[in-house]
Structure 1
Amino acid sequence: MDIGLAGRTALVPGASSGLGLAIARALAAEGANVVMAARRGDLLRRHAAELPSALAVEIDITAPDAARRLVGAAVERFGQVDVCVLNGGGPAPGTALEATDADLLRAVETQLLTHQRLAAAVLPGMRERGWGRLVAVGSAFVQEPAPNMVGSNTGRAALAAYLKTLAAEVAADGVTVNMVLPGRIDTDRVAHLDREAARRSGRTPEQVRADSVARIPVGRLGTPEEFAAVVTFLAGAPASYVTGSQIRCDGGLLRAL
């Protein structure tokens, strides 16, 4: 299937590792120019050099002026941004009872406002051209809040509400807005959460992971490449009638309808 991304330009934050890197590689494989952003500049530049048409931008995407600078760099190099992936790090674990004002404000800042700024920076051009894709990397916690993850539960749910509202407002302009919800994907982030859960429970990380896998119907963790394939499809032309949706990539983990 030709998904119509050849010659398009995609912006991917958090692209130095994990899901962001897998997404950048998948989009590049479809012929897209890829603007890769992350704080770890040396690692980011090494990965960008492996792709046929990529720009590495060392930046902290949570900074208030980061969206403007990042989109400016993309436009200067490639002329426009056609696909914008909303991706970034997740909040630290924590309970609702222990959460402070600062904890929740930080979650909203990193999980909602950072992505809202980026969307606002790319949307004018997309709407003017009559074509654009916003694809957010969410979490299964949007549909099934997890214990001890109040920051992620709260911030990502707020982002989901914002994107659902936005999708209806820009649909007639040829811009789609969707969210992909990863379950247990084999990334450094999931390994870190396993270690934290092991520390709290007195188990080993291997025991924590085995318990998690036992709850997944397909019987294993997902791979970043499997997740990136879903994002890439939503970024392409064949997905033009899919908007305002949350797509799970979780191996059947969530039991919700």
Structure 2
Amino acid sequence: MRMDLHLKDKVVWIVGGSTGIGYACAKSLLLEGAKVAISSRDEHKLSLAARQLYEETETCPLVISADANDPVGMEETFRNIIENFGGLNILIYSAGISKHGKLMELEPEDWKKNWELNIVSFFRTVKLIVPELKKAGGGSIAVLGASSGKQPTPNQLISNTTKGSLLPMVKTLAEELAPDNILINNICPGRFLTTRRYDIAKMEEEKRGVSFEDYINEVAETVPLKRLGDPEEIADFISFIVSPKGSYITGQSISVDGGLIRSII
């Protein structure tokens, strides 16, 4: 039995909603009765996601192909959502990339690509939707950051920096948007068993000859709970944060990580 989060007929746009945590958020919110639009640049993954979401929830999301880095495409997507659903209440920004590498292995172009998607495109999307949220009398925004934004991960100089930049960005925006009853929070996942984790496992197998099971066990050992998270665990938490039940939470960077981050704040 699910807790009623009072999300029925609320309109949600999930940027990067075809796989991973974004997909899990779409499922969670559809089960809560929300009207969900998912966008992604990969049409094939979007098609698969829509089919699977219908099978799991008996509801079909609005599916729109759009690259988060393309301002024109994102504006068209936003108009499409308004035309189909009549408004917007919630944004979940789940698009992002993580470039592995140390100082001497990275180039300026690597920084530009990560910064553009993780920070600039998020800024642009928030700026795009805020007038509509104001018109609706308020709303909620959640961005998927990373635990590495709080506790840097070795060999991820760029990702640590860009994800870390979300903390002051969200705190600043929260104060600016609060008078219009718009809440914004940064959700910092730890180590989850997503499609990306499967891809990393394959790379580790090719690189070190480690089996999938051994790799997952290695990663699990770094987490106090000794396991990886299920995407549904963080998705249900995000549904709570963006719902009326989370109406007094804003400007926060919240770790959902099985105890991975060692700091006390």
Secondary structure of the structure 2 residue equivalent to 1:253: coil
Say if 2:219 is the partner of 1:212.
Answer: yes
Alignment length (residue pairs) = 256
Question: Partners of 1:47 and 1:192 in 2: how far apart?
Answer: 18
Taking the aligned partners of 1:23 and 1:78, their CA distance within structure 2 comes to 18
Structure 1 letter corresponding to 2:249: V
In the alignment, what sits opposite 1:87? Answer: 94
Choose the corresponding residue for 1:45, options 19, 44, 47.
47
- Corresponding residue SS for 2:199: helix
The one of 84, 97, 121 equivalent to 2:128 is 121
Residue of 23, 26, 41 corresponding to 1:24: 26
Instruction: Select the residue among 61, 64, 70 that pairs with 1:57.
Output: 64
Are the aligned partners of 1:67 and 1:117 in contact in 2 as well (CA < 8 Å)? no
Offset, 1:180: 0.9
TM-score (norm 1): 0.93
Residue 122 of structure 1, CA deviation? 0.8
1:239 aligns with 2:227: no
Using the alignment, how far apart are the partners of 2:6 and 2:184 within structure 1? 17
In structure 2, the CA distance between the partners of 1:94 and 1:195, relative to structure 1 (3 Å rule), is farther
CA contact (8 A) 1:215 1:253 kept: yes
Equivalent of residue 186 in structure 2, options 163, 171, 179: 179
TM, length-normalised to structure 2: 0.90
**Alpha-carbon RMSD:** 1.8
Which residue pairs with 1:68 in the alignment? 75
Q: How far apart, in 1, do the equivalents of 2:16 and 2:10 lie?
A: 19
State the 1:222 CA deviation: 0.4
Residue aligning to 1:150: 157
Residue in 1 that maps onto 2:256? 249
> Residue 97 of structure 1: SS of its match in structure 2?
helix
- For 2:14 and 2:43, the matched residues in 1 are separated by 14
Deviation at 1:246, TM superposition (A): 1.2
CA 1:221–1:4 in structure 2 vs 1: closer, same or farther (change >3 Å)?
same
| 2:38 corresponds to which of 36, 39, 49 | 36
On the 8 A contact 2:39/2:63 being kept in 1, the answer is: yes
Q: CA deviation at 1:151?
A: 2.2
| Structure 1 contact 10–32 (Cα < 8 Å) conserved | yes
Task: Give the share of equivalent positions with the same residue, in percent.
Answer: 28
Q: CA deviation at 1:47?
A: 3.0
- Pair 1:162-2:169 in alignment: yes
Q: Is the 8 A contact 2:20 2:195 kept in 1?
A: yes
Cα distance, 1:197 vs structure 2:
5.0
Cα pair 1:108 1:158 within 8 Å, conserved:
no
- Alignment correspondent of 1:2: 4
1:14 pairs with 2:16 = yes
Q: Which runs of 5+ in 2 are unaligned?
A: none
1:138 aligns with 2:145: yes
Aligned-residue offset at 1:67: 2.5
Write the distance in 1 (CA, Å) between the matches of 2:100 and 2:73: 25
In structure 1, list runs of 5 or more residues that go unmatched. none
Is this contact kept in 1: 2:10–2:34, CA < 8 A?
yes
Displacement after TM superposition at 1:204 (Å): 1.2
Instruction: Give the Cα separation in 2 of the matches to 1:149 and 1:190.
Output: 15
